[in-house]
A and B are shown apart, each in its own frame.
Chain A
Amino acid sequence: GQNIDQPTEMTATEGAIVQINCTYQTSGFNGLFWYQQHAGEAPTFLSYNVLDGLEEKGRFSSFLSRSKGYSYLLLKELQMKDSASYLCAVQGGANNLFFGTGTRLTVIP
């Protein structure tokens, strides 16, 4: 089975840094994705990690530790528009994606 955990909600201040954690236990692993999703819209790709370490892309960074079944998404210089749900998803052996519950981030002034 698949088990992917992330916090349900987080609040952070504009301009600050926030880290969203994700732990997983899956029967197969071909990579871990982070998506941003605004209400009523399809997810938007943020990052993909398949090897251990940190992947940096502008204000967003994602980290993976396969041995620990752990990843985090780091958002720097938070903007109001970053208020959204952030979905951690693990790609299984059949290349299908299993999503975590999603973390609803609220950025406050």
Chain B
Amino acid sequence: GAVVSQHPSWVICKSGTSVKIECRSLDFQATTMFWYRQFPKQSLMLMATSNEGSKATYEQGVEKDKFLINHASLTLSTLTVTSAHPEDSSFYICSAPGTGPGELFFGEGSRLTVL
């Protein structure tokens, strides 16, 4: 079964509104989680690294004020897309490292459509 759960799977919102996506680790603690974005027919692009108890680390070119990341607990990280615009429409995926070497678990992904 899934070890990382992401919610919602699909979300449609109006331009200018904010959308929150949750990423939960199931049955294990994740002090770090990663957020990716994937546009159609493109690969995954790392957006930011979410750290429990401290600020997220954003990749170059990712607006930290637009993509708010909160790692509230050892099992939950949230990504909030603020003032969403149609160009933010994308597939957002989170992942969390496991305890084994190279172990990394992905959430199911969230498809955001901004009208």
Chain A residues with CB under 8 Å of chain B are 30-31, 33, 40-43, 45, 48, 50, 85, 87, 89, 91, 94-102, 104
CB-CB under 8 A from B111, the residues of chain A are: 40
CB-CB under 8 A from B108, the residues of chain A are: 41-42
B42 touches A101 (CB 8 A): yes
B72 within 8 A of A: no
Please tell me the size bucket of the interface on B: 20 to 34
- Residues of chain B from 20 to 70 with CB closer than 8 A to chain A in the complex: 32, 34, 36, 41-46, 49, 57
CB-CB under 8 A from A50, the residues of chain B are: 101-102
Chain B residues with CB under 8 Å of chain A are 32, 34, 36, 41-46, 49, 57, 91, 93, 95, 97, 101-102, 104, 106-109, 111
The A interface is mostly helix, strand or loop, or mixed, namely loop
Offer 29 A-B interface pairs, CB within 8 angstroms, sorted by A.
A30-B102, A31-B102, A33-B102, A33-B104, A40-B91, A40-B109, A40-B111, A43-B44, A43-B106, A45-B104, A50-B101, A87-B43, A87-B44, A89-B44, A94-B57, A95-B32, A96-B34, A96-B46, A96-B49, A97-B34, A97-B46, A97-B95, A99-B44, A100-B43, A101-B42, A101-B43, A102-B42, A102-B43, A104-B41
Which of chain B's residues has its CB closest to A88's CB?
B43
CB-CB under 8 A from A101, the residues of chain B are: 42-43
